[in-house]
Structure 1
């Protein structure tokens, strides 16, 4: 039984004796060889048989070798082509390579082994290129498949996480309702005050989950939008005490990851609600300014009022009120620092570090 040929080679050459000699030699080494006497015939055979490699003479009638190379580059750019030509001009060799030839052999050949070596080398290279292409296509297909699976999994997790935030928000709203009922049943102003402060703290956390559910980004919070909503809520709660006070919210848009946003929101709630409750006497005109910004990896919060001030014995480090105790603890959780700045009333500034993975300017 005859072995299958290693590959099919098309040789185009108008010199019949040389063409026959090359064909016989290559066939003796296991190749199937097709022959064409000119370029036009060669292209017709190529179209019909699609050989694995083409040998081309540059000087042929009807259609020259350079034109054949140009046509083959358009028809089958991955098919290896070797020029076998009697012209030894460097210019011809360079032009042939530019048109896509893989190798250039001058004739007459003293040893046909030169031709066999060039053919074997070109076919090995073509095989490796084809294997690489197939491997790359397989990898691209596998990457696309796995990417799609990950996207679907991520979407499912986002839906689940959104539902969790929605339920947490609803549960916090229920807690707020229970706190309001307890406040109505309180026996003293002091008790009602404690319930009121508890309500603002729970509300500050509920706003976080409301923002997450509202915008669909389940990993970061727009702190400017959050601050506006929180301050509006506090202004409504303390509307009688703040009747004559102008509230200025100068908050630059930036986003915080959930791990920083929750303690930051609670901290902002304590600073603003303390000012709303203690800075001004009812009906007193004044100004309360809240600033937030993100600069050089540091988040900064400033709350300043021009009210009556906390008194000469006030100390950030030793104040024992529930509000200031929470402010110190939340600042510690954020790994930040708190300072009192000069000015009328009370001006507090908190800064804390934020890594680039969890914070970014809002779009």
Structure 2
């Protein structure tokens, strides 16, 4: 794999004859060889010439081979280093390999083919590592580019979903002008509750979207029921209660990245099973639906309806306090009550806007 052409090898040895012998042999194989007579000089040459490989003697005056090895490994860990030693002690070889040497050759070198093999193998390994690094960088670039494309696509999808939700919300309010702005206010309040509970941005977005559509099923409720100036009778209420099922049917085939349809289906369920349409209890109700249920009650009680005047925010909060843990999720209720302690004026402005 590795070609000797254009490969430069630095040999560092305090013995001139050994340097020359090694250099002559490697040059015959086609390598360019540069020399240094001691460790300090070798480091200087390495830094200025940037060789492809280093052969370094273990025992030298001024700076020994292990010190040279440590410096080069720190500055250029991808450069192969072969330790050459005349001591013939196994522990020297072990220490050198542990400190970063790629191979170890004993001198005097009786068979130069041993050196050739060590050099060739180390250069091939270095080439493989370089190719792997290039491949890794290119892969990371492709992943980064693909991630950017996906982020752009997701942003476009999010924008489209925003438009769809807004259009459907407006459609609902056209059918029920007396609750104009109700879904939007529920959406904002529910998102604030979710934020107070420490939910993620993605979860908050899902709750905001579901809140803005929670009454979409009312487009199938007769207009005279929605605007009736007196309380609805049982038959009329039975029709009204179908709106969560109708909302689910409308939205279930839209590919939202969150359980929007299921949340809308459950937003009138209660913790004790007294809600509708399925009579679900605590753990069977989605957290998103629990949050929207509380926001829906507070907004509805705070607002005017055709059959009654607004009851006010304080009565709405009393309703939540009185029935938290029974009708309404305890954690969600506590988050709502904390919100009103922290942002009372802001929330009053929201509910009376």
1:33 aligned onto 2:51: no
What whole-Å deviation, never above 9, does each CA across 1:306-341 have from its counterpart, x for those lacking one? Answer: xxxxxxxxxxxxxxxxxxxxxxxxxxxxxxxxxxxx
Partner in structure 1 of residue 242 of structure 2 = 201
> How many angstroms does 1:163 deviate by?
2.0
**Structure with the greater alpha carbon radius of gyration:** 1
- Gap change, CA 1:201 and 1:110, over 3 Å in 2: same
C-alpha deviation, 1:94, in angstroms:
1.2
Query: Aligned pair 1:142/2:142, yes or no?
Result: yes
Once the two structures are superposed, residues 149-179 of structure 1 have per-residue CA deviations (whole angstroms, 9 ceiling, x without a partner) of 1012112211211221222122122223486
Residue 292, structure 1, aligned to residue 294, structure 2: no
TM-score, length of structure 2 as denominator length: 0.58
Q: Any conservation in 2 of the 1:201–1:266 contact (CA below 8 Å)?
A: no
User: Please, which of 203, 224, 229 is the counterpart of residue 182 of structure 1?
Assistant: 224
CA contact (8 A) 1:86 1:107 kept: yes
Deviating more after overlay: 26-35 vs 111-120: 111-120
8 Å Cα contact 1:9-1:55 kept in structure 2: yes
- 1:123-155: CA deviation from partner (whole Å, max 9, x where unpaired): 000000000011011111111111121012112
> 2:138 aligns to what SS in structure 1?
helix
Would you say the 8 A contact 2:244–2:266 is kept in 1? Answer: no
Contact 2:266–2:276 (Cα < 8 Å) also in 1: no
Match of 1:260 in 2: 262
- 1:47-106 per-position Cα deviation (integer Å, ceiling 9, x unaligned): 110000000001112211111011111111110000111011121111111111000000
| Contact 1:180-1:195 at 8 Å conserved across structures | no
The equivalent residue for 1:96 is: 96
SS in 2 for 1:293: helix
CA contact (8 A) 1:56 1:65 kept: yes
**More strand by percentage:** 1
Report the 3-state secondary structure (helix = DSSP H, G, I; strand = E; otherwise coil) of the residue aligned with 2:54. Answer: strand
Q: Which has the higher helix share?
A: 2
In 2, the alpha carbon distance for the partners of 1:151 and 1:62 equals 58
Q: Show the 5 A alignment for 1:43-122.
A: 43-122=43-122
In structure 1, the partner of 2:206 is none
In structure 1, the gaps of 5 or more residues are 210-217, 221-256, 275-288, 300-363
Separation (CA, whole Å) in 2 of partners of 1:44 and 1:80: 17
Map of 1:16 onto structure 2: 16
| SS of equivalent to 2:110 | coil
Secondary structure of the residue aligned to 2:108 is: coil
Note if contact 1:208-1:261 (Cα within 8 Å) is conserved in structure 2. Answer: no
Secondary structure at the counterpart of residue 19 of structure 2: helix
- CA offsets per residue over residues 281-330 of structure 1, 9 Å max, x none? xxxxxxxx9843239xxx9xxxxxxxxxxxxxxxxxxxxxxxxxxxxxxx
Q: Say if 1:176 and 1:199, in contact at 8 Å, map to a contact too.
A: no
Are 2:79 and 2:126, in contact at CA under 8 Å, matched by a contact in 1?
yes
Q: Which deviates further from its counterpart, 81-90 or 169-178?
A: 169-178
Contact 1:10/1:34 (<8 A) preserved: yes
* CA distance 1:219–1:111, change in 2 (3 Å): closer
With normalisation by structure 1, the TM-score equals 0.56
Structure 2 distance, partners of 1:167, 1:199, is 22
**Residue 184 of structure 1, CA deviation:** 8.5
